[in-house]
Structure formats: structure tokens, C-alpha cells
Homo-oligomer: A and B are copies of this chain.
Amino acid sequence: MPPRSNRRITLARRPDGIPGPDDFALREVPMPEPAEGQVLIENLYLSLDAAIRSWMKPDCSYFPPIALGEPVRSTTLGRVVASRHPDFKPGDHGVAYACGGWEDYSVVAGESLHRVEKRPGFPLHYHLSIFSAMGLTPYFGLLDIGQPKPGETALISAAAGAVGSIAGQIARIKGCRVVGIAGSDEKCRMLVEELGFDAAFNYKGKNTEQLSRDIAELCPRGVDIFFDNVGGEILDAALLNLAMFARVAFCGAIGDYTRSGPIPGPYHYWQILARCATVRGFLTLYYKDQFPAAIDEMEGWLKSGQLKFSEDISVGLESTIPSFAKLFTGENRGKLLVRLQQDRA
């Protein structure tokens, strides 16, 4: 039997910049009950993603903003505790993509819960990391939007992050020259020595012109694929170095999520025309039908050692807020998860 109450972290006010403890409240509320068509899940893991920060903005445009006083919306991995939906029974596992919360228990619509099962040889919680958005976002961004061809040059921003490091490795598997951009010399060394990037450079303290020079030097034939996680000056510097018919996978703009007020687009937007380039935005959820095949392919790369990744797992609901802040300071070392309950699958 689940307990009678549910602990949750609610949004107390709209953060200014990097979210801190005062922006949230830890509350104890009565255990929710699923209505017809809904499922009650016990959250085993929370996935901490940069997108959550954008949902906290009052003008978030692609999802409803998180309301003040409501639990912070999150992707979670849960075990079904009670079900009023025909597809689920207690004990099943599912991922609530962008519809769970920072809380011990969540009620979700049955059709929004994505059933998962433990894959032999891999822990269940990989369904929140490499077999989830963290792995699938670079998979579809790099392959479907990037359309890599052997010998082309792929440039990856936030390359030491969870998504960027996978994007770079997939580009390398597809035979591209891969160049990473990261925030410290140590991260750059790791990209080249451990993940097989051809080159990497540190963006810290550089303006658009300096960034553009670094890219030009490491991508002498231009950038065929730019996997953009960051936006801002790094995007501008990449646009200045596009090869003809380049593809830009617009996956995020983490540099903008903590800014407020009108944010100008790239100053070198014109390069999209000049290089006959394609910029495509994407939300990984729309590839849902292709998830199983994608996960199969990634499983193969993991087993052969061609694909590596790391997780940064904190323990307990209380660890969520300090752990989330690491996303924006660059302190995390791998995909950020919070473990609330041990996997029992």
C-alpha cells in the first residue's frame, strides 16, 4: 500500500537566472487518486533536463508554463501503483515524458505513459538516460536532421554534456570528422582522449570572432553538420563557418534559458541563405514510433563499446534542486538523474 501522503517540489516563484532553493517549496500533499483513464505511478527516478528551466518561464511557448504552486513538471520513470487505464496494471514500468513531476508519486494519463521494460544487461533507469531523450535526441538530431556522410565535418556545441557527447560519438560512428566545443580544457581532453572526437576547443572567455577563428582552424573545409544545444555566440560563430548545404540540428538553446527579456536571434542568420543551409528544430517526442528501432541500434553500439556515456545520479527528492542547478553551471558530469527508489525490476 502506498503511503497516505505525497511529497512534491512545487514552483514557488519564477526563477531569475539559475534556479535556487528559494524558487521552490517542498510540500506534503494528500496522495492523489487516478481518475478514469489515469494511472498512479511511484517515481523511481527523475530526469533533470535543461528544458524544464524553459517551462518555468511565464512565456514558454511550446508547452504550457509550469504554474506557480504546481509541482515542477519532469520526465520520470515510475512503477505503476494503481491503474484505471486498460494498458497498465500495478507493477508495470513506464516513462512519463514531460508529464511526471518532482514528487514521490504522480498521476498521469495512461496514454501519456510510455511502457518500458528492463533490457537484459542494462539497468532499468537507462530508460531515462541513454534509451530516453538523452540518447534519442542526439540520435534523431544527428541522423535524421544531420544526414551525416563519411568525411563530412560535424561540429557539436555543449559537446561534453549528455546529449552533445552522444551526438559527437554517433557522428564519429558514421565516419564524420567530429569537433567538440566545451567549457574547460579538461572536458576537451576527455572528448578527444576518451570519446574519440577528432578535436575540441574551450569556448570560455571568447567572443564570436574568436570562436569563429577556432572553428575555422579545426573545420578547414567548413561545418557540414552543426548540432546546436546552446544558441548565442557559439551559434553565430558556427553560422560563419557553414559549408554549402550545411544542416543545423536545432536541439536547444541552453544559454538562453536563464536570460530574460527579448533575446535576439543569431546575428549571422543571413548565412543560412548564403550557404543554402537548413536549420531544423525538433522535439524528440515526435519520433516516438521510431524509438524501439533507435534503442536497438544504440544497444548494439553500447555492447561493442563504440558508444560511451556517464550518469550523474543524486539520491533523494531533496537533492533535486542543487542537482538541477548543475545543468546551468556546467558542474554535472553526465546525465543528471535523481534516484527516489531503487529499481526492483
Q: Which residues of B contact A273 (CB under 8 A)?
A: 62, 250-253, 281-283
Residue of B nearest to A275 (CB): B281
Interface string of A270-289 (1 = CB under 8 A from B): 11111111111111001000
A262 in contact (CB, < 8 A) = yes
| Chain B residue at minimal CB-CB distance from A228 | B273
A111 vs chain B, min Cβ distance (A): 19
Flag whether A292 is at the interface (Cβ < 8 A): no
List the B side residues contacting A231 at CB < 8 Å.
Answer: 269
Partner of A281, one of B276, B283, B286: B276
Nearest chain B CB to A63's CB is how many angstroms away?
A: 8
Q: Is A267 close to B, CB under 8 A?
A: yes
Q: Is A268 an interface residue (CB 8 A)?
A: yes
Given known contacts A264-B267, A265-B267, A266-B269, A286 and B279 CB-to-CB distance under 8 angstroms: no
Q: Is A293's beta carbon under 8 Å from chain B?
A: no
Decide if A256 is an interface residue (CB 8 Å cutoff): yes
**Complex contacts, A282 vs chain B, CB 8 Å:** 273, 276
Known: A264-B264, A280-B277, A281-B276. A269 touches B271 (CB 8 A): no
Is A61 an interface position by the 8 A CB rule?
A: yes
A263 on the B face (CB < 8 A): yes
- Closest chain-B Cβ to A83's Cβ sits at a distance in Å of 30
Query: Closest Cβ of chain B: how far from A53's Cβ, in Å?
Result: 13
> Counting chain B CB atoms within 10 Å of each CB, which of A264, A269, A274, A283 scores highest?
A269
Contact pattern, A 131-165, Cβ under 8 Å of B = 1, otherwise 0: 00000000000000000000000000000000000
- Tell me the A residues contacting B by CB distance below 8 Å: 61-62, 231, 250-253, 256, 262-283, 286
